Amino acid sequence: MGSLQMLFGLLLLIAASAFDTTSKPGCPDRCGNVSIPYPFGIKEGCSRKGFDLVCNDTYTPPKLFWAGVFEILKITLEGQANVHTYVASDCYNETGSTESNHPFMSLGIHGPFTFSNTGNKFTAIGCDTQAYITASYGSNFTTGCMSFCGGNVSVIDGLCTGIGCCQTSIPQGAWGFRIKVNSSHNHSGLLDFNPCSHAFLIADDQFKFSKSDLSARSKYNRDPAGNYKEVPVVLDWAIWNETCEQAKKNRTAYACKGFSTCYDSTNGPGYRCNCSNGYEGNPYLELEGGCKGTVSSLLFVFIVGSWLYWGLKKRKLLQLKEKFFRQNGGLLLQQQITSHRVGATIKIFSAEELERATNNYHETRIIGRGGYGTVYKGILPDHTIVAIKKSKIVDETQIEQFINEVFILSQIIHRNVVKLLGCCLETQVPLLVYEFISNGTLSDHIHDETHSSSLSLENRLRIASETAGALSYLHFATSIPIFHRDVKSANILLDENLTAKVADFGASRLVPLDQTQITTLVQGTLGYLDPEYFHTGQLTEKSDVYSFGVVLVELLTGEKPICMNRSQEERSLSMYFVTSLKEQRLFQVLENRIVDEGDVDQLVAVAELAKRCLKVKGEERPSMKEVAMELEGLRRAVEHPWVQQNLEETQTLLGETSECYNENGSVIGQDSLTNHTMSALEIGR
């Protein structure tokens, strides 16, 4: 935004310099706050001959002078300038004349300046006043006016018509004048309200007569320091001293350049120039600074400026994107995709697409926050809802690893693993796009008060079984084993049908086939962390088994993995659970609902499985494959115990547990969709 303002500033400046200050290019364009248009100039080579001014820097602000004495207050390209001239006074007291001055001013006979005959009036103030102005314009010409008044009352503010005040015009072409002011009766009889006469040449629009101008404290009196008062005067200037017709004969000397026209001065000899219709600029300058087509030129500058600005900005953005893309391993990924010919499974999103999908990463779109980064809900143009994970800064050295994981994950197609749809590498941190799982985390469902009772034992066992299946798949069925490294209830998502989806592979590691363990920086979540891994730093597939064991215990007990309310030794859920088992207190630690819904043998079996997962020594733990198979078996037994019973028992069992089943009827119906259940039901019938 800053640079946009800069651009507009620049454009304004260009516009301003084109139509306001129009000094010769490369020349100082102002003295103090007075701008100096060419043909005037204050440096050698910056002005036309005879148009040089002096800028005196000893004043603050610096003052601009003509002929060393006239301070120029303003110059316009339209042929005018402003200066000050002195007031003539003639004063009396009872004993006679006390003061009399007759100022003389000359702008120079060969100079470009003349006193404007239309912009100024010769003005006299007083009640016993005769004022004369002798103007020089080749010959001398004297004119003047007289002013009288029959006392204070006859004078009217604002009226300068001979009563207390009189005015007259001056002739054309005057480059100098002398003013004389005199009285007929030495102001006798008037001294109390009008002791002085004043006369001066003044800019028409700067004068307004007032009664107080007559008094002893008139503003036209000398100041306390004794200096004569000055009044503003308008000057005309012209290119001296030929007419247009004469001037055009000598093209080198002719002042009107480019698209300009010439017109004769109406105030003395000389001519001036104007830009032709539709052009603006300085008619006395060639090309740069000279007359230009106005609207189109401004538009042109604007369009070119904008084009350059946006072009540069876009280019910079593109460069940045490309840099991030490289930095994030985009090329590596592209290479992988092309070489493996499976590009269809992962889409590379552009930064804009995801910005649009998340409403520019709006706060309201945040659905999760954690050590890994932030997860946003996104809506793609085809109305697909996705979860977009904005990772924390990725260590550059891990880029290759990261890309590998993205690539591997993109190929995992498992019902219980959150599907990675694509990624975006144009941003500083890589963005991952996942399918959107609507019903929150398992942790929420187990621990959040509002969900606590919603998960039946059956659902819990199914979720455990699904999770175990997914982990088993990751460990054994992918082309390169993947250790999840952060298995926990918060990383197991549930969809609308409460189907488990293992998520967050931010910490996951690919393990080359010839290795069964790798040494890494210990990473994981407290309460789920494999103690053996914690002590040795040796990551094996059994670390995930341990963490899964904790999740299983969470599902059985409804307790959190770390609980400060328990005694020191039992603070960790795994310790607490194992101790309880050892002390035969299993049914005291299980969640009530589980005890109510479960079959003692099955519950004990699941608890024993959990206990084995939680073995301190990794090698004593079952593999994820075993766990998955065992859970699947247990689950089937819990759901449909009659399969393993004889038919008579089946009837009684069905009768006994029908209430339970009715309660969860919908869940059975849903589960019946799975292949195993179907066959089990068919066998049962």
Ligand X SMILES: *[C@@H]1O[C@H](CO)[C@@H](O)[C@H](O)[C@H]1NC(C)=O
Structure tokens at 366: 């945040």
Site for ligand X in 600-629 (CB under 6 A): none
Q: Residue 105's beta-bridge partner residues?
A: 177
Alpha carbon separation from 541 to 92, 295, 461, 551, 552 (Å, rounded) = 118, 75, 22, 16, 17
CA distance 679 to 671: 12
Q: Does 450 bind ligand X (CB under 6 A)?
A: no
Closest distance of CB 219 from ligand X, Å:
14
Write down the residue that tokens 């800053």 correspond to.
2
Binding positions are 390
Q: By C-beta, is 451 or 566 nearer to ligand X?
A: 451
Residues with a catalytic annotation lie at 486
Radius of gyration of the chain (CA): 49
Distance of alpha carbon 589 from the chain centroid:
56
Q: Does 496 bind ligand X (CB under 6 A)?
A: yes
* Options 11-19, 94-102, 227-235, 546-554: segment touching ligand X (CB under 6 A): 94-102
CB crowding 141-154: b at 16 or more within 10 Å, else e? beebbebbbeeeee
Binding positions for ATP are 390
Closest distance of CB 186 from ligand X, Å:
4
* Options 20-28, 91-99, 401-409, 425-433: segment touching ligand X (CB under 6 A): 91-99
Q: Does 675 bind ligand X (CB under 6 A)?
A: yes
User: What letter represents residue 42's amino acid?
Assistant: I
Q: Which residue in 626, 625, 596, 593 sits closest to 608, CA to CA?
A: 626
Q: Which residue in 530, 526, 534, 519 sits closest to 564, CA to CA?
A: 526
Residues 6+ apart with CB under 8 A from 192: none
Q: Does 242 bind ligand X (CB under 6 A)?
A: yes
Q: Does 110 bind ligand X (CB under 6 A)?
A: yes
Q: Does 384 bind ligand X (CB under 6 A)?
A: no
Distance of alpha carbon 629 from the chain centroid:
56
Distance of alpha carbon 53 from the chain centroid:
47
Q: Does 306 bind ligand X (CB under 6 A)?
A: no
Q: By C-beta, is 92 or 577 nearer to ligand X?
A: 92
Q: By C-beta, is 184 or 644 nearer to ligand X?
A: 184
Distance of alpha carbon 24 from the chain centroid:
39
Q: By C-beta, is 119 or 329 nearer to ligand X?
A: 119
Write down the residue that tokens 């059975």 correspond to.
668
What is the per-residue binding string for ligand X in 497-526, x denoting contact by CB under 6 A?
xx----------------------------
How many CB atoms sit inside 10 A of residue 398's CB? 12
Q: Does 350 bind ligand X (CB under 6 A)?
A: no
- Within 13 A of 353's CA, how many CA atoms are on the CB side? 19
- Among the listed residues 21, 101, 215, 391, the single contact to ligand X using CB under 6 A: 215
CA distance 46 to 39: 8
Q: Which residue in 88, 101, 91 sits closest to 216, CA to CA?
A: 91
Q: Does 444 bind ligand X (CB under 6 A)?
A: no
Handedness of CA 318, 324, 328, 332 (dihedral sign): positive
* Options 92-100, 539-547, 549-557, 642-650: segment touching ligand X (CB under 6 A): 92-100
Q: By C-beta, is 17 or 439 nearer to ligand X?
A: 439
Using CB under 6 A as the binding criterion, the count of chain residues that bind ligand X stands at 44
* Options 180-188, 316-324, 579-587, 610-618: segment touching ligand X (CB under 6 A): 180-188
Instruction: Calculate the CA dihedral of residues 24, 30, 36, 40 and round it to 10 degrees.
Output: -60
Closest distance of CB 95 from ligand X, Å:
4
* Options 141-149, 294-302, 355-363, 495-503: segment touching ligand X (CB under 6 A): 495-503
Q: Does 413 bind ligand X (CB under 6 A)?
A: no
Q: By C-beta, is 133 or 332 nearer to ligand X?
A: 133
Q: Does 33 bind ligand X (CB under 6 A)?
A: yes
Site for ligand X in 267-286 (CB under 6 A): 269
What is the per-residue binding string for ligand X in 40-79, x denoting contact by CB under 6 A?
--------------x-x-x---------------x-----
3-state secondary structure of 11: helix
DSSP-derived letter for residue 329 is: T
Q: By C-beta, is 140 or 338 nearer to ligand X?
A: 140
* Options 10-18, 245-253, 380-388, 546-554: segment touching ligand X (CB under 6 A): 245-253
Site for ligand X in 122-141 (CB under 6 A): 134, 136, 139-140
CB of 61 closer than 8 Å to CB of 312: no
CA distance 301 to 596: 82
Closest distance of CB 130 from ligand X, Å:
8
Q: Does 410 bind ligand X (CB under 6 A)?
A: no
Write down the residue that tokens 């899964």 correspond to.
548
3-state secondary structure of 479: coil
- Among the listed residues 143, 439, 520, 650, the single contact to ligand X using CB under 6 A: 439
Q: Does 95 bind ligand X (CB under 6 A)?
A: yes
DSSP-derived letter for residue 485 is: S
Alpha carbon separation from 324 to 58, 391, 422, 432, 538 (Å, rounded) = 57, 14, 17, 15, 33
CB of 458 closer than 8 Å to CB of 639: yes
Closest distance of CB 179 from ligand X, Å:
11
Q: Which residue in 321, 319, 333, 511 sits closest to 422, CA to CA?
A: 333
Q: Does 178 bind ligand X (CB under 6 A)?
A: yes
Closest distance of CB 290 from ligand X, Å:
19
CA distance 170 to 205: 16
Q: By C-beta, is 248 or 571 nearer to ligand X?
A: 248
Q: By C-beta, is 114 or 508 nearer to ligand X?
A: 114
Q: Does 143 bind ligand X (CB under 6 A)?
A: no
Residues 6+ apart with CB under 8 A from 113: 66, 81, 107, 175, 235, 236, 237
Q: Does 154 bind ligand X (CB under 6 A)?
A: no
Please give the residue ranges that form the binding site for ligand X (CB under 6 A). Answer: 33-34, 54, 56, 58, 74, 93-98, 110, 134, 136, 139-140, 152-153, 178, 182, 184-186, 188, 193, 215, 241-242, 250, 252-253, 269, 438-439, 454, 495-498, 670, 675, 678-679
